Each structure stands twice: as structure tokens, then as C-alpha cells.
Amino acid sequence: MAGPLSALEWKTTTAELELKPFQGKAELEFTFSNRTGRPVKIVDLQTSCDCLVATTDRTDYAPGAEGRLHAEFTVGDRFGLYERTVTVVTDEPGAPAKLVVKLFMPPLATLSPRTVEWPAGAEASERTVDIAIAPTLHIALGEVISTADAFTVRLETLEPGRHYRLHVAPRSTAQP
């Protein structure tokens, strides 16, 4: 159990969650109690990112009262580990409570290698990038289109919905 922070005692000050692919939002909850002998008012909730919104079940907590802070994280197109904070400011003196939200969004696919390059003047040979779809998913890749006319691309299906190989070659390496 976490110790008292500010005037409120939090059951935990860190929440961790692993998200599922294509999950648009994540919801977490922190519980707390007012262990002081006087009423405590939450006057502000500050989040470290616009992607995180925090609300409480009310703002005034009598001595001994329990409460809940609800946090909602908008995932968007993010993947990887995200750590965000919620700062809870009360009308009591002392440091505000800092709550930590840790979220992990696994990638939909992994690329190996993540980048390919050709030194200027080198042979314009083909490079490959393996695309492995996350184990819990089945994603069919159909066509690849180069966003630059300077490259040719083609997609090879190794295992439909699971594993692909992207072949990339520059038309020339005479210029960067």
C-alpha cells in the first residue's frame, strides 16, 4: 500500500496496463481515502499529455471518505511503452499527489531490419525487410506502393497474414 501523498492516501500510485492491438482507449482507476480529520477538496487534476484525461467521482471528501480517480488514455496510432502522470492538487498544504500511468501497446508488426540504406555511388542492389505480424493478429498485406519514384518495391508473401518480405531497390545511387 502506498503511503499518504498530500492529504489523500492512495491504494496505489502506479497503474500498469498492456493494451490489445487496435484498442482505441484504455481506462484505469486509482482509489484513495481521506485519512485526515478534516474535509479535503480536490482543486485540480493535471495530466502530462492531452492523450490522458482524469476525473474524480466528486471533489469534496469528508474525513474517512473514499474516492476514485478515473483515467482514460487515448491510444491513437501509438505503440510501445508510454508513461504519463496525473497530478492531484488538493486544498491541503504539501506536495500534490503524482500518479503514474504506464501503458504498453504492442506493435502490430515488426520490421527487420527497421531501415535500409545505400551509400551514394554504391551498387543499387536490392535490400529486403522482413515483416512479422504480431502473434495475436492476422493481417493480409496485398500491394505495396513506393512513395518515391526513386525506388522499386515488391512484396513477397512468406506466410499469408503472418509473415511478409518487402524487396526494395533504388533506381540509382548516383545522388543521395
Which of 80-84, 129-133, 143-147, 171-175 tops mean pLDDT?
129-133
Q: Per-residue pLDDT tens for 85-108?
A: 999 999 998 889 999 999 998 888
List Cβ neighbours of 59 (8 Å cut-off, separation of 6 or more): 41, 42, 43
Q: Per-residue pLDDT tens for 133-148?
A: 998 889 999 999 999 9
Please state the pTM of the whole predicted model. 0.71
Burial class of 117 by CB neighbour count within 10 A (0 to 12, 13 to 18, 19+): exposed
Q: Per-residue pLDDT tens for 1-16?
A: 444 446 899 999 999 9
Closest CA to 59 of 26, 81, 34, 25: 34
